[in-house]
Structure 1
Amino acid sequence: MFTIAKRMTRRAAIACIAAAGMAVAGCQPTSLGSSGPAIGPQIDPSQPVQVAMLVPGGTGNADLDWLGRSLANAARMAAADANGARIDLRVYTTTPAEASAVEAAETAAAEGAQIILGPLFADSANAVGNAMKDNNLNVLSFSNNTQIAGSNVFVLGNTFDNVADRLVDYGVKQGLRRFLMVYENDAAGQIGAAAIQSAIAQNGATLAGRQEHALSRDSIDTIIPAVSQAAKSGQIDAIFMTANQQAVLPYLTDQLANAGVTSREAQFMGLTRWDTPAARLQLPGVQGGWFALPDTTLQSQFTSRYRAAYGEAPHELGSLGYDGVAAVAALAGSGNRNAVNTIGLTRSAGFTGVNGVFRLRRDGTNERGMAIATINNGRVVIIDPAPRSFGGGFGF
């Protein structure tokens, strides 16, 4: 039996832990709630704000070091862009080990840090959050594992919950009501499935069925008849796939297409980016499918600026470094003494980063403005642009 993605590459592991957040330490922070006390110090807006940044470096892994370099460089760009604020950015390199991240955070706190950006990995972010409680410092982690969010720990990464809610919300507005969920049986697949199920419930739609598969061709083959029957019989309006492992999407969509099921029979949508790698765009099964993207105009501008400044493209997660500094700078630049505490960080208007608008919730999670895209004849087409601002309450 040919197994799909049986072994994860280091790059895939980075994306999975930073984006899906699979590694969670045992001690979980408690949720702040909507009316808890403010965490974090007040600042003097007339003075520089000392921001500590924990990034991977010197690891011996080229991809991980590139990511650390991108995070730090993007943060420097945001500090330079600060309007009316002075950011004293201090970068500390760490290994993926929890102890290394905690040691760096404790050093930063001793040197006067007023807020911590990073680290990358979920378990390390959890450990740093616990270590910084006595220092009354907030931690803006680059992970998006919502399981570690809460108390003084925020997640900056785009979450499965964000993507699922955006897609289901848009689908419901287009008349889609009955969703079939297809997901992997690994940890990331389970997290993604939970996000999809929650989004369906929150948007008043119906989970009409669920199909779980292992990371193998044989396992995917076993669910194709049931998925195909549901689509052809009109029992469902949409098929929402986690397809988190890189090899799953091409095989799953091709097998469905071979069985006569495409987005014409039931709208395909995915929890992950369908436009990378670029070769995916030519796959017959993904044509017409929906997925979520950041604000492509802002992202393109950032990439061009970064390449001009540093002579290389930024890592796809590097923009999170910009976002963290930009949030603090926006608050400090307006004279807000709460620039590094939970009162300021969780303002309902949010902030504008290089991937679009975003805001932090009091429970440590985030909300990001995203576009809805489809693939049409091998080209990415934006069918619903990313919002440029938030409304009165949470939710677009």
Structure 2
Amino acid sequence: MFTVCKPVSKLAKAAAALATAALLAACDPGGLGGGPSIDTSDPVPVALLVPRGSGQAGDAALAQSLENAARLAMSDLPNVKVDLRVYDTAGNAGTASTVAQQAVADGAKIIIGPVYAQAANAAGLAVLNKNVNVLSFSNNTSIAGGNVFVLGPTFQNTANRLVNYSAAKGKTGTVIVYSNDAAGQLGQSAIASALGSSPVNNAGTVSYDRSQQGVITAVPTIKATVDSSGADSVFLTATTAGALPLLTQLLPEAGVSSATTQFIGLTRWDIPPQTLELPGVQGGWFALPDPAKAQSYRQRYNATYGEAPHPISGLAYDGIAAIGALVAQGKSNALTGAALTQSAGFQGVGGIFRLRPNGTNERGLAVATIQNKQVVVIDPAPQSFAGAGF
């Protein structure tokens, strides 16, 4: 999935760019809000909760990659010292609750992690009365709020970006096509919400069972909905591991041509790379983090650790970058909810991001298409939130 490492001598520019990641906090965070008071002249105690010890395949490697990314971010912080303490959650809620309490007893002023939603929720509840915020690696917005923030990319953020782009390109109506499992239903809800505050009309929704026959059965309904509504786009929640290959093959065969009906994807159509080979995805739109910044991070990580980073490891870098940016302002309220949700946001490994008062996040995404089996950015990621259409 990732490029092999480049010679270290070629990484100076990438390293310099990442070194500025902790410097984007630009405005006064305002009132104290919920969170501890800190002494910014001392190293800031930060707890990192990782899923090591779960016994599940891949969790140990994920835990190490998250820790590596956090330490990489620490090395890029100018004039800010972080005292990082790592705690293993074993990937479960009970252990996450216990170690979160232990971390705060050990002096942690903020927690980054855990990965899994139930564990993150448990960690947040465990330290709620300790006035400590949790920057979780989850993308499950149902746990967001109070002292828990989600750093993971959300369906709503992606849907908003793509619907706004569709409107800017003159699209008038879209049919939402979604799988009737939990992920598909959440995706459908996010797209419908984005359309609700957009000039692009919600031209109908079509669900399908996650099976080959389920997709085959749904195709005539999708075709009829497009025809009857006059929709000029179809927004798919499908993944490559799910129905995307079949839908993008069968819809054109049924007369829903990508030449006249824009295909839009809620998921990354460049992962895995083999997706780019599919004839049906050519010309489709999807969103992704700023490719240049994401590539710089992968190269920097590779050069430092001699291997590719885990796909979500950058969230640990982002957490440390945000903390460093706020602490660098020298204010005792740097880790309060009000400070964490400052509107200027932060620079992360995939571009700009900011935390919202409701615990969710916004990320500056690029819009891309696939041409001749290659990813082509057609609308670059914004470089700041001011005037970026957010």
- TM-score where L is the length of structure 2: 0.89
Distance in 2, Cα, partners of 1:338 & 1:390? 23
Q: CA deviation at 1:338?
A: 2.3
1:366 and 2:324 equivalent?
A: no
Name stretches of at least 5 consecutive residues in structure 1 with no aligned partner.
1-34
1:144 and 2:139 equivalent?
A: yes
After TM superposition, the structure 1 stretch with the greater mean CA deviation from structure 2, 106-115 or 124-133, is 124-133
User: Does the 8 Å CA contact 1:262/1:285 hold for their aligned counterparts?
Assistant: no
1:210 and 2:205 equivalent?
A: yes
What is the identity percentage for the equivalent residue pairs of Structure 1 and Structure 2?
52
Match of 2:371? 376
Q: CA deviation at 1:190?
A: 0.7
Match of 2:246? 251
Match of 1:20? none
Q: CA deviation at 1:171?
A: 0.3
Q: CA deviation at 1:162?
A: 0.5
Q: 1:309 to 1:324 in 2, by over 3 A?
A: same
Q: C-alpha root-mean-square deviation of aligned residues, in Å?
A: 1.6
Distance in 1, Cα, partners of 2:41 & 2:338? 19
Match of 2:347? 352
Q: CA deviation at 1:257?
A: 2.2
Distance in 2, Cα, partners of 1:152 & 1:68? 23
1:188 and 2:179 equivalent?
A: no
Distance in 1, Cα, partners of 2:374 & 2:212? 27
Encode CA deviations 1:315-357: one digit per residue, 9 max, x unaligned.
1101000000100001111213222111210110000000110
Q: CA deviation at 1:258?
A: 1.9
- Indicate which of 300, 322, 325 corresponds to 1:327: 322
Encode CA deviations 1:56-99: one digit per residue, 9 max, x unaligned.
11333342222111111101111111122111111111112101
Letter in 1 for 2:291: T
User: Does the 8 Å CA contact 1:52/1:115 hold for their aligned counterparts?
Assistant: yes
User: Does the 8 Å CA contact 2:140/2:150 hold for their aligned counterparts?
Assistant: yes
Encode CA deviations 1:205-262: one digit per residue, 9 max, x unaligned.
2111110001111111112112223445671011001004613110111111222323
Encode CA deviations 1:281-312: one digit per residue, 9 max, x unaligned.
11111010000000111110110111111111
Q: Which one scores higher on RCO, CA 8 angstroms, separation ≥ 6?
A: 2
Q: 1:127 to 1:245 in 2, by over 3 A?
A: farther
- Indicate which of 22, 38, 46 corresponds to 1:43: 38
- Indicate which of 213, 218, 224 corresponds to 1:223: 218
Q: CA deviation at 1:36?
A: 9.7
- TM-score where L is the length of structure 1: 0.88
Distance in 2, Cα, partners of 1:390 & 1:75? 24
1:133 match: secondary structure: helix
Match of 2:83? 88
How many residues align? The count is 361
Q: CA deviation at 1:37?
A: 7.0
Distance in 2, Cα, partners of 1:254 & 1:376? 17
- Indicate which of 192, 199, 203 corresponds to 1:197: 192
After TM superposition, the structure 1 stretch with the greater mean CA deviation from structure 2, 250-259 or 160-169, is 250-259
Letter in 2 for 1:162: N
Distance in 2, Cα, partners of 1:201 & 1:83? 43
Structure 1 segments, 4+ long, off by >4 Å, are none
Match of 2:279? 284
User: Does the 8 Å CA contact 2:66/2:313 hold for their aligned counterparts?
Assistant: yes
